[in-house]
Amino acid sequence: MSAATDSTTFKSSWVEGLVSSYSRLVAPVPDAHGVLSARSPEQGRVSVVIGGGCGHYPAFAGLVGPGLADAAVVGEVFTSPSAEQVYRTARAVDGGAGVLFSFGNYAGDVMHFGLAARRLAAEGVDSRTVLVTDDVASGSAQEIEARRGVAGGFFVFKIAAAAAARGYDLDGVARVAARANAMTRTFGAAFDGCTLPGQQEPLFTVPEGTMELGLGIHGEAGLRRVPAQDPAGLADVLVDTLLPELPAGATGRTAVLLNGLGQTPYEDLFICYGRVHRRLADAGLTPHRPEVGEFVTSLDMAGLSLSLLVLDDELADLYDEPCQTPAFTSAPAAADAVPEPRRAPRPGAAAGTAPRTADTPAAGGGAAAEALAAALAAVEAHEQELGRLDAVAGDGDHGQGIVRGLRAAVAAARGADPGDTADATGRALLLAGTALADAAGGASGALYGLLLTEIGGGLLEAGPVPVTAELLAPAVDAAFHAVCELGGGAVGEKTMLDALAPFRDTLLTHARAGTPLAAAWADAAAAATSAARATADMPAKRGRAARLGERGQGHADPGATSLALMATAVAGVLDGRSPTPADPVPESR
Ligand code: ADP
Ligand code: MG
């Protein structure tokens, strides 16, 4: 949330944007802070009105449209809408068959919706209210009705609206909505708090390396703080908490909602869901139309929640009802009949061999494999630091990318014929370079991949002779030119070229002097290391980094740093000693 956001106009501004972008589905309530379905009211049909404070999009206004809510009343951030707003919104969508109100169990909402219901009754408009109480963290199982409503409200709204669409009367809609709520349980975790519009500080923070279990959706901290888990580990915590909470005798089909709270990557949600799916299956539950995404957020909170709705036949049938809203569309049931996915053969299964990965290296590959393995160990030890350097001006992925690439390179080199001659080393480097570029991706993946294949190509031509500085230096020189050409870069632009150039120069000098390879390489690696350090004082001239101007200064270039690390590690191998070089990673100033 940007502190520049104007809190006084926040609500009206975003609602205006919502109704103008999705005018095919929703319209503003003419005289209230509310959003109504473009198809409502429908005469003779029950209307479903949801709502609450804003800051939770898609709840509630994003869940309005044909097949889902008829209208949503929009309060200020995390604040109940007023009775007047609820009343006006309900009047706007009433089709004469009554109004079903559903919203989270919070005192302000209960009071304002309650007042509106009384006023409507006095005017002859019938209404029922179903409170959402799905959050297991907010009260004991003995007093379920005291619990607050969180992401599971989506199930309740969806089922109520489906019943209304099918022509259930008001009591019928209220009955299935209440049943959906009674069968729904939610538990969540927060990794970081959220910041109100116009504020500088988050409502709460979660210390690095920890997470809060059992959070609320209004910046309430959780039940307890535990060490942070990866998304799959978190799946176990959520499932283990919810299973004993499920309504008694629960077996069979279960609607599942894995909800992101606003700042959690969808990829993490899917990783978590994959584990949830297996765990539910192990517990004898069949996920029915699982949904993974954002349904009830808390502004920019980082975290997620898991909601389970134990279905009976009627609830399952209603849950399948198609709908279309700005945030959520559910296709007709016919679209469910997708063919069983074909199972891909397991890699290596046909040949009866395990696939070769960096974790299961084959022996062999000779000097090239040994050198690359040492380079890998060096960048692995500095993966975080390389990522941090890349994050100064880039996207922070350099450490991960180069480690991934070198793992593949080592595996590929180990698969080559063993041997320390120039041609054997060349062949291994050709394989390694191709594998590195494929696995690492990114600019550095392409450039390092090319560097290896070019050196490999140069050595291969030399045939079955020992690798010497005289042989290697021209191959490195050619590789340097190829990397310049591919990247369109030049020395002095704060890239890996600034480390590669002095490395190449030193090697060429020693080659001319007839220095033995190990000594020549060690000197070249030292030159690369001091040049990499010196990139800290250079202004960036390429890409995004260049636009940062001075900001990047004081930090070494990640590519130059990784190149120096690798060269130093290889020097250790060539010297025939275990690599204990001086740490060439420059301190960030
Ligand atoms: P990406 O930029 O695709 O995220 P990485 O983060 O893995 O790739 O690598 C960034 C490094 O790649 C930079 O620090 C720089 O040394 C190097 N690099 C990027 N572009 C070029 C280029 N055109 N020429 C030379 N080196 C480059
Ligand atoms: Mg990067």
For the chain, list the domains and their CATH numbers: 1-132 (3.40.50.10440), 183-193+205-322 (3.30.1180.20), 366-577 (1.25.40.340)
The answer to whether the CB of 299 falls within 8 A of the CB of 194 is yes
Range of lowest pLDDT (39-48, 70-79, 85-94, 359-368): 359-368
Tokens for 93? 């969508």
Residue 356 has pLDDT above 70, yes or no: no
CA torsion angle 294 300 304 309 (round to 10): -40
Say how far apart CA 162 and CA 173 lie, in whole Å: 9
103/89 Cα distance (integer angstroms): 14
The per-residue pLDDT for range 201-227, each reduced to its tens digit, is: 888 888 999 999 998 888 777 788 999
Q: Which atom of ligand 1 is closest in space to residue 559's alpha carbon? A: 16
Strand partners of residue 184: 309
556: CA distance to ligand 1 center in Å? Answer: 13
SS3 assignment, position 128: strand
Average pLDDT over residues 365-380: 94
- Phi/psi at 384 (5° precision): -65, -45
| pTM reported for the whole predicted model | 0.72
Average pLDDT over residues 375-379: 98
User: Each residue of 335-355: pLDDT tens digit?
Assistant: 454 444 444 444 433 333 333
566 vs 362, residue with greater confidence? 566
Closest ligand to residue 557's CA: 1
Confidence of residue 365 (pLDDT cuts 50, 70, 90): low
| Lining residues, ligand 1, CB within 6 Å | 390, 394-395, 397-398, 401, 442-444, 447, 487-489, 495-497, 542, 557-560
- The structure tokens listed for 264 are 């959690």
Ligand 1 pocket test, pick from 384, 392, 398, 436 with the greatest ligand atom count within 8 Å of Cβ, gives 398
* CA-proximal residue: ligand 1, atom 21 (nearest): 487
What are the tens digits of pLDDT across the range 257-289?
999 999 999 999 999 999 999 999 999 999 999
517-560: pLDDT as tens digits: 999 999 999 999 999 999 999 988 765 555 555 666 789 999 99
CA 47/CA 38 separation, integer angstroms: 13
**Protein residue with its CA nearest to atom 4 in ligand 1:** 442
CA 110 / ligand 1 centre spacing (Å): 56
Ligand 1, atom 13, lies closest to the CA of 559
* Residue bearing the CA closest to ligand 1, atom 27: 495
Query: Ion ligand 2 — residues with CB under 5 Å?
Result: 390, 394-395, 397-398
Whole-number pLDDT of residue 363: 52
- The answer to whether residue 329 scores a pLDDT higher than 60 is yes
- % of the chain exceeding 70 in pLDDT: 89
Q: Which-ligand-closest: CA of 401?
A: 1
Q: What is the 558 CA–ligand 2 centroid distance (Å)?
A: 8
- Cα-to-centroid distance, 516 and ligand 2 (Å): 36
What the block records as the tokens of 417 is: 């014929």
In this structure, what DSSP letter does residue 64 have?
A: B
**DSSP assignment, residue 346?**
P
At 509 the pLDDT is 98
Q: Flag whether pLDDT at 362 surpasses 60.
A: no
Mutate to test the pocket of ligand 1, among 404, 406, 447 (most ligand atoms within 8 A of CB): 447
Q: Which ligand is nearest to the CA of 443?
A: 1
* Residue numbers annotated as active site: 218
Question: Could you tell me the end-to-end alpha-carbon distance of the chain, in angstroms, rounded to an integer?
Answer: 29
Task: Give the tokens for residue 223.
Answer: 């039940």
| pLDDT tens digit sequence for 158-194 | 999 999 999 999 999 999 999 999 999 999 999 998 8
Higher pLDDT, 347 or 58: 58
Average pLDDT, the chain: 89
State the distance from the centre of ligand 1 to the C-alpha of 200, rounded, in angstroms: 34
pLDDT at residue number 251: 66
pLDDT score of 2: 56
Per-residue pLDDT, 364? 64
Q: Give the distance from CA 1 to its chain's centroid.
A: 18
Lowest-pLDDT range, 44-48, 217-221, 374-378? 217-221
Atom of ligand 1 nearest to the CA of 563: 16
Q: Choose the residue to mutate in 397, 496, 544, 562 for probing ligand 1, maximizing ligand atoms within 8 Å of C-beta.
A: 496
Distances (CA, A) of 22 to 28, 84, 330, 356, 515: 11, 25, 17, 51, 72
pLDDT tens, position by position, 555-581: 999 999 999 999 999 999 999 843 344
Neighbours of 275 (CB within 10 A): 18
DSSP conformation class of 537: G
pLDDT tens by residue, 459-491: 999 999 999 999 999 999 999 999 999 888 999
Taking the CA of 395 as reference, the closest ligand is: 2
Please give the distance, rounded to the nearest whole angstrom, from the Cα atom of residue 542 to the centre of ligand 2.
13
Q: Which of 384, 400, 444, 497 to mutate to test the pocket of ligand 1 (most atoms within 8 A of CB)?
A: 444
In 224-364, alpha helices (H):
231-242, 266-282, 313-319
